[in-house]
């Protein structure tokens, strides 16, 4: 399904555009796998930003259904005292993940509370024990949070970004504090907590 020629491929390009600041090489390879180019990725992102600003464009979960088709799953989820709903869509680039939109209670209009990539139901996450296991694009926020109970969520530097501060063993087995940066819920990099960002590839 697509709206005005904007469908699943274009939406994946939008997600990739936000990841390019962290993982330009991985993004470039993914763009090629989609049969697209850097220019078309930028154009897809530009179109998406323009579409969501149009008053008549669908809001909430309907916005994503308009470009991705019907949700693959709609799951009740309780967040504290709130009765919420999580709707999920499969994306070809990440077959083990799902794009999830978390909606607030229907009685307050089902607002979008969160939107990111999550582990697909029934798909086991990676084994995460040390820093070396935390490869970019290998895990989502919940994977890291479950593996390292010390994890504390932090606000990211942009709406699509998220951070976790946590403790984990380094290469020498010494437990140290780290910060994991995510875009759309997918791990991009891990760096020393409160330290400068390492060079790409470190």
Look up the pTM and report it.
0.91
Query: Does residue 156 surpass a pLDDT of 90?
Result: no
How many helices (H) does the chain have, and how many strands (E)?
Answer: 5, 8
What's the rounded mean pLDDT across residues 42-52? Answer: 94
pLDDT tier at 155 (50, 70, 90 boundaries)? Answer: confident
Q: Which residues contact 83 (CB under 8 A, 6 or more apart)?
A: 76, 105
**3 state DSSP class of 201:** coil
């Amino acid at each position: 399904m697509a709206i005005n020629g904007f469908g699943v491929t274009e939406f994946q390009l939008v997600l990739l555009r936000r990841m390019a600041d962290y993982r330009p090489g991985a993004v470039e390879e993914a763009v090629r796998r989609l049969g697209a180019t850097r220019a078309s990725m930028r154009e897809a992102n530009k179109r998406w930003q323009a579409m969501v600003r149009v008053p008549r464009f669908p809001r909430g979960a309907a916005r994503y259904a308009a470009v991705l088709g019907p949700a693959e799953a709609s799951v009740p989820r309780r967040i504290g005292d709130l009765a919420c709903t999580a709707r999920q869509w499969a994306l070809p680039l990440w077959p083990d993940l799902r794009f999830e939109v978390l909606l607030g209670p229907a009685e307050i209009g089902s607002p979008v509370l969160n939107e990111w990539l999550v582990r697909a139901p029934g798909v086991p996450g990676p084994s995460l024990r040390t820093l070396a296991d935390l490869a970019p694009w290998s895990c989502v926020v919940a994977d890291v949070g479950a593996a390292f109970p010390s994890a504390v969520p932090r606000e990211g530097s942009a709406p699509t970004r998220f951070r976790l501060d946590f403790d984990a063993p380094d290469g020498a087995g010494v437990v140290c504090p780290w910060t994991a940066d995510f875009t759309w819920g997918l791990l991009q990099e891990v760096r020393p907590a409160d330290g400068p960002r390492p060079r790409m590839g470190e």
